[in-house]
Each structure stands twice: as structure tokens, then as C-alpha cells.
């Protein structure tokens, strides 16, 4: 069951809905294969736009928690398929942020494959919303919310090496569990069985929707500088910083 997205008492409504409709936050979609450097690219954009209010929403937060039955055969569960995400909830969340309303984003635990049942991350109104994830370009309704789409394009071998390192260091795995069922032939390993086919079937085809393709990810400082320059121009043009006159209180608790 989906938990409510909007905090009950502090619901924020723009004072002038027509003005807010004209000057909505700038939504950037950042997609690319697993461990391509999406999060790094987003962090670099956020760092360089330090004088603006930018929030990052990660598609990973919208992973559905696994049922006890699914947990029993977790090796068979495809985390790389679009159905693994609660896209309706993601849509509702980004839709509300676009209207200037604060939302509660679920917290997903990669170690237990469950959502935190009692805590959320509050994300407040902002000038820029970055929506990041392997499949954020898959659903047309999600794409339609985006003002700019960036695809981080990193070679598959580089991604696999990073993925192994990251899952061991950050996501509570060992090498066997990253590749899964190491006693079986390589075609049965999790990477070969799910991650790679889903990249070919769903992630790569969504590259065609990108406005900008960044080769090599976070190492590509030139591309990130260009994007930030463009964003600064857009933010200046739309005077987005001043769209929410009553946001001051929220701003003080603003977090990324």
C-alpha cells in the first residue's frame, strides 16, 4: 500500500496558481545504465548550482518492497524491469513537486529489499528537480514532466566494474551475490540474466528520448559545465527563484 505523499499539516499551495502554472520548477531527467555515473553527474550539477534550490529525486526510492513470497526467491526477482518500480507513486510525487508542493519520498533499503515503513524523506519546493534512475525515460507520462533529459552513456565494462565495487561497499553484497549464484554458468548470474538484458531491452532504447548524451559520466567536466551554463540561462530567464513567495519557512529546512 502506498503511503501518503503530502505531509498533512504543512501542505504548501502556491499563492497564485496561474503564475505557478506558468513558472513551474525546471525538471531534469537523468538516465543511463546501472553504475553509469548518474548520481555523480547529479551531485556535480547540484554542487555547481549551489546558489539555487535543487532537489534530487531518485527512482530507486520508488522500488516496490518485496513480498515475503518474492523474498523467498529473490534470485528470480528482476529489479531491472520497469514493473519493479511504483511508477504511479513516482508520477504523483514529481507531479506535486512540479506544482510546488512538498512530498514525502519513500526510503528503500537495498539490503533488505524493503521500504522503511515508518520514515520518509521530505522534499520541499525547489527551483530545479532532478529525477534520476535507470528507467526514468521509460514511461511517457514521466518523460512528459521533464524539461530536459540527460542520458549518461558509459561503457558496459566500466559500469560492471563500478557496479561490483559499489554493491560490495555500499549495498551489503559480496562478489557472489552481485553476480548471483556463482556456482551456475555465467549466463545464470544476476548481471547476465537480468541487469544486462534489461539494459538492452528497456534502458538503451530510451536513450533516443535524451536531449543531451554525456559520454563517460562524472569524468566529463566539459559536458557538466555546459549543462550547468544552460541551466543558469534558463533559471535566469524564468526567474524561477522567485516563483514561490511563501516558501521561506520551507527553505530553511531544505535538504538534498
Select 86 or 127, whichever has its Cβ closest to ligand UZR. Answer: 86
Cα distances from 103 to residues 10, 26, 43, 106, in angstroms, run 10, 17, 21, 10
List the one residue from 12, 79, 85, 151 that touches ligand UZR (CB under 6 A): 79
- DSSP, residue by residue, 167-185: HHHHSS--HHHHH--TTS-
What is the smallest separation between the CB atom of 199 and Mg ion, expressed in angstroms? 14
List the one residue from 43, 60, 139, 211 that touches ligand UZR (CB under 6 A): 60
Cα distances from 214 to residues 4, 211, 219, in angstroms, run 35, 10, 10
Range 220-249, binding ligand UZR (CB under 6 A)? none
Q: Does 39 contact Mg ion by CB under 5 A?
A: yes
Q: Does 35 contact ligand UZR by CB under 6 A?
A: yes
Q: Does 154 contact Mg ion by CB under 5 A?
A: no
Range 106-125, binding ligand UZR (CB under 6 A)? 110, 113
55 with 175: CB under 8 angstroms? no
Cα distances from 173 to residues 40, 109, 165, in angstroms, run 21, 13, 9
Residue 120, binding choice from ligand UZR, Mg ion, none, Cβ under 5 to 8 Å by partner class: none
Burial of residue 221, with CB atoms counted within 10 A of its CB: 0-12 exposed, 13-18 middle, 19 or more buried? exposed
What is the smallest separation between the CB atom of 111 and Mg ion, expressed in angstroms? 16
Select 60 or 92, whichever has its Cβ closest to ligand UZR. Answer: 60
Select 2 or 13, whichever has its Cβ closest to ligand UZR. Answer: 2
* Positions in the binding site for Mg ion (CB under 5 A): 39
Amino acid at each position: 500500500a502506498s503511503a501518503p505523499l503530502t505531509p498533512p499539516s504543512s501542505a504548501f499551495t502556491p499563492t497564485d496558481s496561474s503564475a505557478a502554472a506558468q513558472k513551474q520548477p525546471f525538471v531534469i531527467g537523468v538516465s543511463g545504465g546501472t553504475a553509469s555515473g548518474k548520481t555523480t553527474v547529479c551531485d556535480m550539477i547540484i554542487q555547481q548550482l549551489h546558489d539555487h534550490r535543487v532537489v534530487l529525486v531518485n527512482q530507486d526510492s520508488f522500488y516496490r518492497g518485496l513480498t515475503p513470497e518474492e523474498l523467498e526467491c529473490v534470485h528470480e526477482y528482476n529489479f531491472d524491469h520497469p514493473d519493479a518500480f511504483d511508477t504511479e507513486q513516482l508520477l504523483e510525487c514529481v507531479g506535486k513537486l512540479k506544482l510546488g508542493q512538498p512530498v514525502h519520498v519513500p526510503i528503500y533499503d537495498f539490503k533488505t529489499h524493503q521500504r522503511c515503513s515508518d520514515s520518509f524523506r521530505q522534499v520541499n519546493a525547489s527551483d530545479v528537480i532532478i529525477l534520476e534512475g535507470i528507467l526514468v525515460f521509460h514511461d511517457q507520462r514521466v518523460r512528459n514532466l521533464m524539461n530536459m533529459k540527460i542520458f549518461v552513456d558509459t561503457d558496459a565494462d566500466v559500469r560492471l566494474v563500478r557496479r561490483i565495487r559499489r554493491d560490495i561497499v555500499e549495498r551489503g553484497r559480496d562478489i557472489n551475490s552481485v553476480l548471483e549464484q556463482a556456482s551456475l554458468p555465467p549466463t545464470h548470474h544476476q548481471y547476465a540474466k537480468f541487469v544486462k538484458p534489461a539494459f538492452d531491452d528497456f534502458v538503451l532504447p530510451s536513450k533516443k528520448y535524451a536531449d543531451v548524451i554525456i559520454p563517460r559520466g562524472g569524468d566529463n567536466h566539459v559536458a557538466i559545465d555546459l549543462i550547468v551554463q544552460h541551466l543558469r540561462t534558463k533559471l535566469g530567464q524564468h526567474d524561477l527563484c522567485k516563483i514561490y513567495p511563501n516558501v521561506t519557512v520551507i527553505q530553511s529546512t531544505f535538504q538534498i
